[in-house]
Amino acid sequence: MKKETKEKSIEHIGIGISKIIGNYTDYVLLINACDVASKRYETMENPIVLSTTQNIPEPLRLDSFEMDVQFTKEELVNEYSSDILIKIFENYLIRSISVVDGILEDLFEIILKCEDNLAESEIEKSISNAWRNDNLKNYLTNPNGLNLKKPDGMNMSFDETFMRYLELRIIRHAIIHTNGILTEKDYNRLKEFEEKTPVERKNMALINSQLIDHNKKIILSLNKMLAIRQYLDRFLMYFYNSFQQEVTE
């Protein structure tokens, strides 16, 4: 590995970890806003009705049909203390995985530009195919690629580390495309990942977590959001430490 590759990669991953923290901070503020709103409506003495479209300026109204949704204060308390919170948890997961995807794809680009004499079009093609057939992981870990090694003192291999992250990508897909319910195909992929996980760490496979119920539905909460935040920090630190221990040319 070239010295430039190591230095730029470590700097980039460090910035990525800061993005994870910043993303979490944004969503914590949204959660706090829900708590403030819920308590405000709960203690409000006079009855109210909140309209979702009443204050939209006429030029910005829909051309076809403007559907007005209205909430009583009791309904608002319920929305802000449950339904809206679930949406925040879901969007936190979606946004967090998208941020980490971007961090790893940009890392891939940095490495390709530093290590390989590739045309810009070839680099773009490699990045667009990063998640197909484990291309990104294979490049980072194979002897013919960057040949990264797992950090000293870590039991988990790169293969297993990537599996845990791919599990979260499957969860994101379910939230976006199938209303938070795993398809049979995706559920079977999670089962395959569990089978590939060493016996002593099978409890870490996502299929064995409380994130998925018996109906294959994704169940999110504040504590699960915090666990995802912690995992993503550790995931990026795994890369950070791996680059730190590399000897440069």
SS (H, E, C) the chain: CCHHHHHHHHHHHHHHHHHHHHHHHHHHHHHHHHHHHHHHHHHCCCCCEEECCCCCCHHHCCCCCCCCCEEEHHHHHHHHHHHHHHHHHHHHHHHHHHHHHHHHHHHHHHHHHHHCCCCHHHHHHHHHCCCHHHHHHHHHHCCCCCCCCCCCCCCCCHHHHHHHHHHHHHHHHHHHHCCCECCHHHHHHHHHHHHHCCHHHHHHCHHHCCCECCCCEECCCHHHHHHHHHHHHHHHHHHHHHHHCCCCC
**Torsion sign across C-alpha atoms 176, 180, 185, 190:** positive
Tell me if 64 is assigned to some domain. Answer: yes
Summarize pLDDT for 168-177 with one digit per residue, the tens: 999 999 999 9
* 128 or 118, which is more confident: 128
Give residue 84's pLDDT. Answer: 96
Give residue 86's pLDDT. Answer: 96
Q: How many domains does the chain have?
A: 1
Half-sphere exposure of 224 (CA within 13 A, CB side): 18
Looking at the predicted structure, is the pLDDT value of residue 247 above 80?
no
Tell me if 174 is assigned to some domain. Answer: yes
CB 108 within 8 A of CB 127: yes
Q: How confident is the model at residue 53 (pLDDT cuts 50, 70, 90)?
A: very high
The number of beta carbons lying within 10 Å of the beta carbon of residue 211 is 19
Strand-pairing partners, residue 72, are 49
Tell me if 249 is assigned to some domain. Answer: no
Distance CA 222, CA 228 (A): 10
Range of the domain at 172: 3-244
Looking at the predicted structure, is the pLDDT value of residue 248 above 80?
no
Tell me if 102 is assigned to some domain. Answer: yes
Please name the residues in contact with 197: beta carbons below 8 A apart, sequence gap of 6 or more: 160, 163, 204, 205
What six digits make up the tokens of 20?
Answer: 């994870």
CB 100 within 8 A of CB 235: yes
Looking at the predicted structure, is the pLDDT value of residue 65 above 90?
no
Looking at the predicted structure, is the pLDDT value of residue 209 above 80?
yes
Looking at the predicted structure, is the pLDDT value of residue 64 above 90?
no
Give residue 92's pLDDT. Answer: 98
Give residue 246's pLDDT. Answer: 85
- Is the full-model pTM beyond 0.95? no
Tell me if 95 is assigned to some domain. Answer: yes
Looking at the predicted structure, is the pLDDT value of residue 218 above 80?
yes
Tell me if 125 is assigned to some domain. Answer: yes
Q: How confident is the model at residue 144 (pLDDT cuts 50, 70, 90)?
A: confident
Distance CA 128, CA 52 (A): 39
Distance CA 14, CA 10 (A): 6
Q: How confident is the model at residue 117 (pLDDT cuts 50, 70, 90)?
A: confident
Tell me if 108 is assigned to some domain. Answer: yes
CA angle centred on 151, ends 145 and 155, rounded to 5°: 115
Tell me if 200 is assigned to some domain. Answer: yes
Give residue 39's pLDDT. Answer: 95
